[in-house]
Chains A and B, each alone.
Chain A
Amino acid sequence: NAGVTQTPKFQVLKTGQSMTLQCAQDMNHEYMSWYRQDPGMGLRLIHYSVGAGITDQGEVPNGYNVSRSTTEDFPLRLLSAAPSQTSVYFCASRPGGRGYGYTFGSGTRLTVV
């Protein structure tokens, strides 16, 4: 099992550019989430999904879009990158039901200049 795979690991964007962060899991997990991590601010939820075809907003959704066309994939799209979106992005997944923790990917470090 590869677990949760995120690509790319590093990315530099210019302000205004768009891009998609990829996330794939091979554990047949129902729930998937995107978090951003900034120094001293913990992990903040951007968007999440409880199953294929179902997505919802988290705490900080502005400037990001997601889709969940399959159970395995949950890409995060930056519409028009801004310096405030410089961060480390983590994708995570877990099985449905109670009692399960999230399995995190290794993260994407994004810099917007």
Chain B
Amino acid sequence: GQQVMQIPQYQHVQEGEDFTTYCNSSTTLSNIQWYKQRPGGHPVFLIQLVKSGEVKKQKRLTFQFGEAKKNSSLHITATQTTDVGTYFCAGRYETSGSRLTFGEGTQLTVNP
């Protein structure tokens, strides 16, 4: 079936270190979205990537969509304690209409 695999499941960093989470799909995605969920909270939409090789930046966050549209990454430069939470990717496939398939998420903890 259509699955989006996300790694790592957990990441612990010291404040100021960089962080990256990766998403992979075995089949081509139409687009991919990224969400952040703070502990005890709900997912919040960050961004959508659509084009092959697309790179978007939001302050210290850099999002990439692979050339083959099968993988994506989120990179955070110089993490801060406010970055703590779980980051999810969610992919849409051509055959799935409007449905999103979420990855399992990467839980980020930042030690001050």
Are the chains A and B members of one assembly?
yes
Interface of B is mostly: strand
Q: Are B42 and A90 in contact (CB under 8 A)?
A: yes
Residues of chain B having any CB pair with chain A under 8 Å: 6, 9, 31, 33, 35, 41-48, 50, 88, 90, 97-105
> How many pairs of residues, A versus B, come closer than 8 Å at their CB atoms?
53
Q: Are B99 and A104 in contact (CB under 8 A)?
A: no
Q: Are A99 and B102 CB-contacts (below 8 A) given A43-B43, A43-B88?
A: no
Interface residues of A in 62-113 (CB under 8 A from B): 90, 92, 98-107
Q: Are A104 and B102 CB-contacts (below 8 A) given A40-B9, A43-B88?
A: no
Q: Are A42 and B42 in contact (CB under 8 A)?
A: no
Q: Which residue of B lies closest to A44 (CB)?
A: B102
Give the number of residues in A that approach B within 8 Å (Cβ atoms).
Answer: 25
Q: Is A34 an interface residue (CB 8 A)?
A: no
Q: Which residue of B lies closest to A91 (CB)?
A: B42
Q: Which 9 A-B pairs have the closest CB atoms?
A: A101-B45, A104-B42, A43-B102, A42-B102, A42-B104, A104-B43, A106-B42, A42-B105, A101-B33
Tell me the minimal C-beta distance from B19 to chain A in angstroms: 19
Q: Are B48 and A42 in contact (CB under 8 A)?
A: no
Q: Are B104 and A102 in contact (CB under 8 A)?
A: no
Q: Which residue of B lies closest to A96 (CB)?
A: B98
Report B-chain residues with C-beta under 8 Å of the C-beta of A103.
45
Q: Are A104 and B44 CB-contacts (below 8 A) given A42-B88, A42-B103?
A: yes
Q: Are A40 and B48 CB-contacts (below 8 A) given A31-B98, A45-B99, A101-B35?
A: no
